[in-house]
Amino acid sequence: ETGVTQTPRHLVMGMTNKKSLKCEQHLGHNAMYWYKQSAKKPLELMFVYNFKEQTENNSVPSRFSPECPNSSHLFLHLHTLQPEDSALYLCASSQGQYQETQYFGPGTRLLVL
């Protein structure tokens, strides 16, 4: 699990707050992903970056804003979230986009009040 790290591990925020989730991978991979895991729902792919370029945005609301400054770092900026956005947010990376096994971070558990 130390290959992909995420901070913070837990976050509580109000609906008017702005916060950011950080993901870092130490595996030399070129692709990174954000997933949302809600209770009793399948894992939802949010964003995909390949070589720092966003290649997929699965109809995610604009209150979620990703940033990938380099192949090792991925951020998810949060602004004016809703209580239904409370979930576990997982970051993953892979050598190539989709073509190889994805390695997941431990996740950030987000609670929006």
Partner 1 sequence: AQSVAQPEDQVNVAEGNPLTVKCTYSVSGNPYLFWYVQYPNRGLQFLLKYITGDNLVKGSYGFEAEFNKSQTSFHLKKPSALVSDSALYFCAVRTLDNYGQNFVFGPGTRLSVLP
Residue 92 near partner 1 by CB under 8 A: yes
Of 11, 32, 90, 112, the one binding partner 1 (CB under 8 A) is 90
Q: Are 106 and 97 in contact (CB under 8 A)?
A: no
> 85-88 contacts: CB < 8 A, separation 24 or more?
85/110, 85/112, 86/38, 86/110, 86/111, 86/112, 87/36, 87/37, 87/38, 87/39, 88/36, 88/37, 88/38
- Listed in sequence order, the residues at least 6 apart from 70 whose beta carbon sits closer than 8 Å to its beta carbon are 52
What single DSSP character describes residue 61? -
- Take residue 107 and report the two structure tokens written for it: 């996740």
Cβ closest to partner 1, residue 79 vs residue 106: 106
Stretch that binds partner 1, among 12-20, 66-74, 79-87, 92-100 (CB under 8 A): 92-100
What's the closest the beta carbon of residue 62 comes to partner 1, in angstroms?
22
Binding residues with partner 1: total (CB under 8 A): 20
Q: Which is nearer to partner 1, 97 or 112 (CB)?
A: 97
The answer to whether 17 contacts partner 1 (rule: CB under 8 A) is no
Binding site for partner 1 (CB under 8 A): 1, 4, 6, 40-43, 45, 90, 92, 97-99, 101-107
